[in-house]
A and B are shown apart, each in its own frame.
Chain A
Amino acid sequence: MNSTLLRTTALRSALRASAPKAATRAGLAGTTFVRGKATLPDLPYDYGALEPAISGQIMELHHSKHHNTYVTSLNNFSEQLAEAKHKEDIQAQIALQPLINFHGGGHVNHTLFWENLAPTKNGGGEPPTGKLAQAINDGYGSLDAFKEKFNAALAGVQGSGWAWLVQDTQTGNVLIKTYANQDPVVGQFRPILGIDAWEHAYYLQYQNRKAEYFKAIWDVINWKAAEKRLK
């Protein structure tokens, strides 16, 4: 497997790594209007480390191609947005919103997703503990019952999308929600754990048998990362 990805073994906040870095803002024509660029975060494990649940080939394409395309496109449209703001072109700003939502969502979702996964030797698949375990038991009766509900939600995604365990920021309750395409978990809900239900996430290994992918992925779920997101 690609050894360049072994650089980072410790789990770290990839989102933080991709946050704006420099506060420089250029005002001259022809120069960039974007303060900092989103970057593709390193995976905290090797491409092949999630086998047999997710193949190394899937992980490599998913991270280095799909996620990278969202990052590149987000930077491109962010730059256009900054330019449209600079020119006070409101129509152009509005036209760019769905593109920022889609590509920005793709970047955010995948970054959270990589953190949600871990090789079994690093604790992948080990059940949640503490507050999150309690919340799941309270809401769903047991972890197995929760997984069943979550898998039903994943199976019910019509087209491309994601299923998330989210926390309602108003009530503190956890619940399962599905999101279309790359719509990100923002606003009233806080992302705790997400699973990618796009076909590119499983097709090379599972083809049309997506229920098998939904079943297998729990073996490499990083519940520790999920616990840290719960407030």
Chain B
Amino acid sequence: MTSPSYSLPPLPYAYDALEPHISAQIMELHHSKHHQTYITNLNAALKTQSEAVHTADITTQVSLQQAIRFNAGGHINHSLFWQNLAPASSADAKTSAAPKLSSQIKSTWGNEEKFQKAFKAALLGIQGSGWGWLVKVETGNEQRLAIVTTKDQDPVVGKGEVPIFGVDMWEHAYYLQYLNGKAAYVENIWNVTNWKTAEERFVGTRADAFRILRASM
């Protein structure tokens, strides 16, 4: 039986390109070890699942669901995360790269500062490992922005939800540099936020945002 096999998408910048906000050591471990492990475990689970489908082994299929959710979530989240970061000196890291999104952020939260404050509070409120996301929620012709947090590696794949950008709040994302000072990590992430990617996801469709996943198959 063949099953899809995913591979690690290359980073769109060098490991040290986000310094001093995120160290090269963190980036290298995070990408080459953590993200790779999710992919390795996902591929293994998908292979076992494919065999279980072939042999009509329904109990094995059900027992694999949590491993698939966790490891696929890890792959999805990190793939989106790398793309929504950019070197601080690049034009992509300026909010001017996201005119339409900025305008909706302002109309939703009042101003950029209030939005960042709300986002920070959500991120720091996560109990344990998880992610914070800015998402676009589409219902019919309506669309709105929302801040959501997810636990562990639960991905943002809800109906009508388009992830705009996410921040990894697992300790491995900041600990080697920020230790227990996660508030400083959350503040510094704005320096390396890729607003160009954020704008593209905001004006695009759900399928556009997840395009990176097809590229890494």
Contact = CB atoms under 8 A, between A and B. Distances in A.
A160 B127 CA distance: 9
A207 B179 CA distance: 13
Contacts of B127: 98, 102, 181-182
Given A159-B153, A208-B33, A208-B37, A203 B128 contact: no
Given A61-B179, A180-B128, A203-B175, A158 B33 contact: no
Contacts, number: 54
Contacts of A160: 128-129, 171
Nearest to A66: B180
Contacts of A131: none
Interface in B44-97: 66, 70
Contacts of B29: 207-208
A61 B171 contact: no
Contacts of A161: 128
B151 A61 contact: no
Contact of B170 (A61, A102, A182, A199): A199
Contacts of A203: 171-172, 175-176
Contacts of A199: 129, 170-172, 175
Interface residues of B, number: 20
Contact of B151 (A159, A182, A207): A159
Interface string A202-228: 011001100000000000000000000
B130 interface: yes
A182 B172 CA distance: 18
Contact of B171 (A98, A181, A182, A200): A200
Nearest to B129: A159
A146 interface: no
Contacts of B172: 199, 203, 207-208
Interface residue tally on A, bucketed by range: 20 to 34
B175 A204 contact: yes
A158 B176 CA distance: 20
A208 B31 CA distance: 11
Contacts of A208: 29, 33-34, 37, 172
Interface string A46-84: 000000000000000100011001000000000000000
A140 interface: no
Nearest to A64: B180
Given A66-B180, A158-B152, A182 B128 contact: yes
Contacts of A65: 179-180
A171 B126 CA distance: 36
Interface string A80-98: 0000000000000000001
A189 interface: no
A192 to B, nearest CB: 23
A154 to B, nearest CB: 15
Interface string B143-182: 0000000011100000000000000001110011001100
Nearest to A161: B128
A180 B127 CA distance: 10
Contacts of B130: 159
A61 B180 contact: yes
A178 B56 CA distance: 31
A113 interface: no
A204 B151 CA distance: 23
A198 B172 CA distance: 10
Given A159-B151, A207-B176, 8 more contacts: A65-B180, A66-B180, A158-B70, A159-B130, A159-B152, A159-B153, A203-B175, A204-B176
5 contacts: A102-B127, A182-B127, A200-B171, A203-B171, A204-B179
Counting from the closest, the 10 A-B pairs by CB-CB distance are A159-B152, A181-B128, A199-B171, A160-B128, A159-B129, A208-B33, A65-B180, A160-B129, A102-B127, A203-B175
